Amino acid sequence: MNKDSNMVLVTGLARSGTTLLSECLDHHPSIMCIADPMNEFFKGFMRYAYFHVENEKKDVGYPIDHFFFSGSKEVSRFIDETDFNHPIPPYLKEEILARIAIRDGEYCPEIIEPLQYCKATTFDGLFLEILQLLFDAYGQEGTTCFGVKTAWCEQLLKPLARTFPNMKFVNIIRDPRAVIASNYQADGSRFPLFFNIRDWRKSVYYHWKFENEDALMKDRFVGVKYEDIIAEPEKTLRKITDLLGVSYSADMINKGFKKPNSSYQVSEESNGIISGSKDKWKKVLPPDTILQAEIYCGEEMKKLGYSFTQVNPPIDYNSLVNLKDNLFESLSGWCQDIVSDKENYEGLWHQYNIHLESIRLLLLRGNNTQYDKSLVADFFYQYEYFIWLRQQGKDSI
C-alpha cells in the first residue's frame, strides 16, 4: 500500500445512505470499501488543523464543523488549501489511535490489536498504515481498489486528493427530511435542527463544487443521490464503477447485506436493496420539523428535484421564531455542551440562529442583481454557488 495505490473514499452526511453505498462497493470483487474505520482519524486531523492554525487543543469529542458562522475561518481556509503531509503531534497520534480502538473498533474489531503498533509519524503515513491493516483483515485476493467510508468529511476531499493522486471520491446526498428523521431517534441522541440542516447544506455545496468548479477533482469525483440508488441501483452504481475504472458487477446489489441499517436487510436473507424507509420521514417527523427543513433547505431541494409538502410556507421572522426545535433534553451530550444550557438554547441561541437563517433567505429570495461578495460567501461558502442556487429550475448536480 502506497500513495499511488488506487483508492476510493465514500462520504456524505451521516444517515444519507453512506453505509448502504459502501456495502454495495465492498460487494464488488475488485473493490474493498470498509465502513467507518477512520472516523476518528479524520476528526483527529480537524483537531490538528485547530492546533496548527490557532494553537488550540480541541477536545477529542469536537465534531467536524459545518463552518456556518461557527468554528474558525482560518482553520476552514487551511483545510481547503492543505494536504495530509503533516507530522502528527505525539499527543494527537495517541488520542487518534485510542479513539479508533474504542469507537471505530466497534465496526472493525480485527484492527484494534495491531493499531497499537502503528509507526507512522505523519497523517498520510498513518492513513496508509491503517488502510493496510484493513486490507490485511478484510481484503480479498483480486482487490485492485482500496477504500473506506467516512461520513461528514466532504471538506477533507481536496486535501486527500492532493496527497493521494489515484484516490477517487463518491459523495451521497439524501432528502434532508429523511436524514433528519433517521437522526430523530430516542431522547438523548438528537441534534438541534440547525445542525442537521447546515451539515446537509454543506454536503450539497461540496457536491456541487467538486462536480462543477474544481479542476483538481475533475475525473476523480462523482456525486449520487440515495433515492437514485434505491430506484435505479445498477444505473447509479455504474457511474461509480466507471469512475473507478472497473466493470460493473451484479454482486454489488445482489449479495447479502450486513446488519440492518435503514435501507438494507439482514445478510443471508437479503434480496438486495429495498426502499421501505424512503418516505418514512412523513410518519416520523413533526410538522414543524418538516416545515423548517423545507424552508431552510428549500433552494437546494429544488435543485435536487425533491418535492415539498407546502407550496408557499410562511417565512416571516415571527413565524420562523415560533417553529419548534428539538427539546434541549432530547439532545445528545456533545450538542448540549455546544449550546451551553437549556435557557440559552431556547432563548438567545435559537433567536440568533433564526436571525442568521432569515438573512440567508432574504439573500436567496431578494430581487437585487448586485451583492457584496464577501457577505454572500459568509452565508453560502462561495459566491458562484449562491448564483447557482438562485437560478430557476432543477439542475443536474
Express each pLDDT in 104-146 by its tens digit: 888 899 999 999 999 999 999 999 999 999 999 999 999 999 9
pLDDT digits (tens, 9 = 90+) for 348-381: 999 999 999 999 999 998 887 788 999 999 999 9
Confidence band for 260, pLDDT divided at 50, 70 and 90: very low
Instruction: Please tell me the predicted confidence (pLDDT) of residue 275.
Output: 63
pTM of the model: 0.93
Sorted by sequence, the CB contacts under 8 Å of residue 392 that are 6+ apart come out as none
pLDDT digits (tens, 9 = 90+) for 314-359: 788 888 999 999 999 999 988 999 999 999 999 999 999 999 999 9
Give the pLDDT confidence score for residue 277 in this predicted structure.
66
Average pLDDT, the chain: 91
Which pLDDT belongs to residue 262?
A: 45
pLDDT number for residue 269: 43
Burial class (CB in 10 A: 0-12, 13-18, 19+), 338: middle
Which DSSP string corresponds to 202-250?
Answer: HHHHHHHHHHHT-STTTTTEEEEEHHHHHH-HHHHHHHHHHHHT----T
Query: Is the pLDDT confidence value at 290 over 50?
Result: yes
Q: pLDDT at position 356, please?
A: 96
pLDDT of residue 274: 65
- Residue 127 in grid coordinates: 492513513
Give residue for cell 452504481. 237
Per-residue pLDDT, 268: 47
User: What pLDDT, in 10s, does the model give residues 28-75?
Assistant: 999 999 999 999 999 999 999 999 999 999 999 888 999 999 999 999
- Edge-first strand order for the sheet with 145-149 is 31-35, 145-149, 7-12, 167-173, 221-225
Q: What is the dihedral of CA 274, 266, 148, 213, to 10 degrees?
A: 10
The H or E element containing residue 11 is strand 7-12
Q: Is 12 left (phi over 0), alpha (psi -120 to 50) or beta?
A: left
Whole-number pLDDT of residue 259 = 54
Confidence of residue 219 (pLDDT cuts 50, 70, 90): very high
Categorize the per-residue pLDDT at 263 as very low, low, confident or very high, splitting at 50, 70 and 90.
very low
Mean pLDDT score, 163-170 = 98
Q: Indicate the pLDDT class of residue 186, thresholds 50, 70 and 90.
A: low
The number of residues making up the chain comes to 397
Give the pLDDT of residue 265: 41
